[in-house]
Amino acid sequence: MPDLTQPNPVDVALKVLLDTPSYAAQMLITTARLLEMDASQPLAGLDLERAIDIAADTILRPLPNVVAQDSISRMYRVLPDRPALLTRGEYALLLRRAAKELG
């Protein structure tokens, strides 16, 4: 009779894979966190681009180039539009929603 106190390693691995956001979603979440550091300020010119660059460097640097490029493409496809007069915090909420939908 198998030992039922230990979970099946395959089940554990599948749970981790299914519960971990994709690299594109991780980039959106990290970008949101960076923008939230000064949430009440308006989202200006290069704020978003800088935050995305930092997120990409943090999340994608150790990955193969093909995986990184695919993740960046996926992230940009779901990146919310930037309406005028939006704060960094408000845009961060849109990024988190996009990350949740992306999975």
- Nearest-5° Cα angle at 80, 27 to 46: 70
For residue 19, tell me if it sits in a domain. no
Instruction: Enter the pTM of the model.
Output: 0.81
The answer, yes or no, to whether residue 30 has pLDDT greater than 60, is: yes
Q: Would 22 be classed as within a structural domain? A: no
Query: Please, is 98 exposed, middle or buried when counting C-beta atoms within 10 Å of its C-beta (0-12, 13-18, 19+)?
Result: buried
Asked whether residue 38 is assigned to any structural domain, the reply reads: yes
pLDDT of residue 20: 75
pLDDT recorded at residue 19:
65
Mean pLDDT confidence for 15-34: 86
Confidence of residue 2 (pLDDT cuts 50, 70, 90): low
pLDDT score for 55: 96
Identify the domain containing residue 98 by its residue range.
28-102
- Is the residue at 76 inside a domain? yes
Between CA 43 and CA 61 the distance in angstroms is: 26
Into how many domains does the chain fold? 1
Average pLDDT over residues 24-42: 96
C-alpha 1/C-alpha 29 separation (Å) is 44
